[in-house]
Structure 1
Amino acid sequence: MVWWEAVLSPALQVLFDKLASGDILELLRRWNINDLLLEKLKIAYFTCTVVLDDAEEKQYFNPAIQTWLDMLKDAVCEAEDALDFLATEALRCKVELSPQSLSNQVRNKNFLANNFSPYDEGMNVKIEKIIEKLEFIAKQKGILGLESSGKGIHGMMHRTPTTPLVVESCIYGRENEKEDIINLLLADDGTNNQGFSVIPIVGMGGIGKTTLAQIVYNDKRIDEAFDVKAWACVSDDFNSINITKALLESSTAKPCDTMNLELLQRGLKQTLNKKRFLIVLDDVWNENFENWNELSISFMDGDPRSRIIVTSRNEGVLRVMKALPAYRLKELSDTQCWLLFQDHTLENEDSEKYLSLRQIGREIVKKCQGLPLAVKMLGGLLASKLDAVYWNQVLNSNLWDLPQKKNSILPSLRLSYHHLPPNLKRCFAYCSIFPKGYEFERKNLVLLWMAEGFVQPGAKISMEEVGDEYFSELLSRSFFQESALNRSRYVMHDLINDLAGSVSRISCVRQEENWQREHLEWSEKVHHFSYISQQI
Structure 2
Amino acid sequence: MSVIGDAALSAFFQVLFHKLSSPELLKFADEKQVHSELKKWEKILVKIHAVLDDAEEKQLANRLVKIWLTELRDLAYDVEDILDEFATEALRRKLMAGPPQPSMSKRSDLDLREGIEGQSTKRWRSSCSSSTCLPNEPQVYGREKDKRKMLELMLRESQSDDSNVQIIPIVGMGGVGKTTLARLVYNDESVVTHFDLKAWVFVSDEFDVMRITKSILESITFQPCDLKDWTLVQVRLYEALGGKKFLLVLDDVWNKNYGDWDALRSTFRGGAPGSKVILTTRNTNVALMTGTKGYHSLEIISEDDCWSVFAQHAFENKNISAYPILEIIGRKIVKKCGDDESDILPVLRLSYYHLPSDLKRCFAYCGVFPKGYEFEEYELVLLWMAEGLIVPPQEKINMHMEDLGSEYFRELLSRSIFQLKCLRVLSLSGYNISELAKSIGDLKHLRLENVTDIQHASEANLISKQGLDVLKLNWASEFDDSRNERVERDVLDMLQPHNKLKELTIRCYGGVTFPAWVGQPSFSDMAVLRLENCKRCTSLPPLGLLGSLKDLAMVGMSSIKIVGPEFYGEACLKPFPSLECLQFEEMHEWEEWIPCGAGYEEFPCLRELSIKTCCKLSRELPSRLLSLEKLAISKCEQLVVSIPSLPLLCKLEIEACKNVVHRGAAEISSLNSLVLSKISNLTNLELGLALALTKVKDLKIVGCQELRFLCQNEARPLQQFTSLHHLVIESCLQLFSLG
Q: Among 163, 173, 179, which residue is 2:132 paired with?
A: 163
Q: For structure 1, which segment, 460-469 or 187-196, has the greater mean C-alpha deviation from structure 2 after superposition?
A: 187-196
Counterpart amino acid of residue 8 in structure 2: A
Distance 1:266 1:411, change over 3 A: farther
Cα displacement (A) at 1:73? 0.6
CA distance in 2, matches of 1:11, 1:167: 44
The residue that corresponds to 1:399 in the other structure is 342
Structure 1 segment 13-412 matched on structure 2, within 5 A: 13-18=17-22, 20-21=23-24, 25-30=26-31, 32=32, 34-94=34-94, 96-97=95-96, 108=97, 112-113=98-99, 116-117=100-101, 120=102, 122-123=103-104, 126=105, 129-130=106-107, 132-133=108-109, 136-141=111-116, 145-149=119-123, 155-159=125-129, 161-166=130-135, 169-252=138-221, 254-260=222-228, 261-349=230-318, 351=320, 354-369=323-338, 399=342, 411-412=346-347
Distance 1:282 1:140, change over 3 A: closer
1:17-59 deviations in whole A, cap 9, x for unaligned?
22x34xx5445555x3522222222222223222223433443
CA distance in 2, matches of 1:61, 1:225: 44
Which protein is richer in strand relative to its size? 2
Tell whether 2:376 aligns with 1:441.
yes
Counterpart amino acid of residue 460 in structure 1: N
Cα displacement (A) at 1:210? 0.6
The residue that corresponds to 2:390 in the other structure is 455
Distance 1:363 1:157, change over 3 A: farther
The residue that corresponds to 2:15 in the other structure is 11
CA distance in 2, matches of 1:292, 1:25: 43
Cα displacement (A) at 1:299? 0.7
Counterpart amino acid of residue 357 in structure 2: P
Q: For structure 1, which segment, 420-429 or 72-81, has the greater mean C-alpha deviation from structure 2 after superposition?
A: 420-429
Cα displacement (A) at 1:61? 4.4
The residue that corresponds to 1:388 in the other structure is none
Counterpart amino acid of residue 399 in structure 1: S
Cα displacement (A) at 1:452? 1.4
Cα displacement (A) at 1:227? 2.7
The residue that corresponds to 1:466 in the other structure is 404
Distance 1:57 1:439, change over 3 A: closer
Structure 1 segment 406-445 matched on structure 2, within 5 A: 411-445=346-380
CA distance in 2, matches of 1:308, 1:351: 40
CA distance in 1, matches of 2:126, 2:26: 44
Distance 1:484 1:57, change over 3 A: closer
Secondary structure (helix, strand or coil) at the match of 1:199 reads: strand
Distance 1:256 1:332, change over 3 A: same
Asked whether the 8 Å contact 2:5–2:367 carries over to 1, the reply is no
CA distance in 2, matches of 1:312, 1:272: 25
Asked whether the 8 Å contact 1:168–1:215 carries over to 2, the reply is no
Counterpart amino acid of residue 73 in structure 2: K
CA distance in 2, matches of 1:432, 1:229: 44
Asked whether the 8 Å contact 2:57–2:353 carries over to 1, the reply is no
1:471-515 deviations in whole A, cap 9, x for unaligned?
1111111101232646999xxxxxxxxxxxxxxxxxxxxxxxxxx
Secondary structure (helix, strand or coil) at the match of 2:126 reads: helix
The residue that corresponds to 1:533 in the other structure is none
Distance 1:91 1:215, change over 3 A: same
Cα displacement (A) at 1:349? 4.6
Secondary structure (helix, strand or coil) at the match of 2:270 reads: coil
Asked whether the 8 Å contact 1:232–1:243 carries over to 2, the reply is yes
Distance 1:194 1:87, change over 3 A: farther
The residue that corresponds to 1:479 in the other structure is 417
CA distance in 2, matches of 1:363, 1:192: 50
Q: For structure 1, which segment, 54-63 or 204-213, has the greater mean C-alpha deviation from structure 2 after superposition?
A: 54-63
Counterpart amino acid of residue 321 in structure 1: T
Distance 1:333 1:41, change over 3 A: same
CA distance in 2, matches of 1:449, 1:333: 35
CA distance in 1, matches of 2:362, 2:324: 44
Cα displacement (A) at 1:332? 0.5
The residue that corresponds to 1:532 in the other structure is none
Asked whether the 8 Å contact 1:283–1:310 carries over to 2, the reply is yes
Distance 1:274 1:350, change over 3 A: closer
CA distance in 1, matches of 2:327, 2:367: 31
Secondary structure (helix, strand or coil) at the match of 2:299 reads: coil
Asked whether the 8 Å contact 1:197–1:324 carries over to 2, the reply is no
CA distance in 2, matches of 1:158, 1:447: 37
Asked whether the 8 Å contact 1:28–1:90 carries over to 2, the reply is no
Q: Give the fraction of aligned pairs with identical amino acids, expressed as a percent.
A: 42
Over alpha carbons, which structure has the higher Rg? 2
The residue that corresponds to 1:105 in the other structure is none
Distance 1:191 1:243, change over 3 A: closer
Cα displacement (A) at 1:327? 1.7
1:364-390 deviations in whole A, cap 9, x for unaligned?
3234449xxxxxxxxxxxxxxxxxxxx
Secondary structure (helix, strand or coil) at the match of 1:283 reads: strand
Secondary structure (helix, strand or coil) at the match of 2:243 reads: coil
Asked whether the 8 Å contact 1:5–1:422 carries over to 2, the reply is no
Cα displacement (A) at 1:242? 3.0
CA distance in 2, matches of 1:44, 1:202: 41
Which protein is richer in helix relative to its size? 1
CA distance in 2, matches of 1:45, 1:55: 14
List gaps (5 residues or longer) in structure 2.
426-438, 441-739
Asked whether the 8 Å contact 1:192–1:304 carries over to 2, the reply is no
Q: Which has the higher contact order (CA 8 A, sep 6+)?
A: 1
CA distance in 2, matches of 1:287, 1:357: 47
Asked whether the 8 Å contact 1:331–1:369 carries over to 2, the reply is no
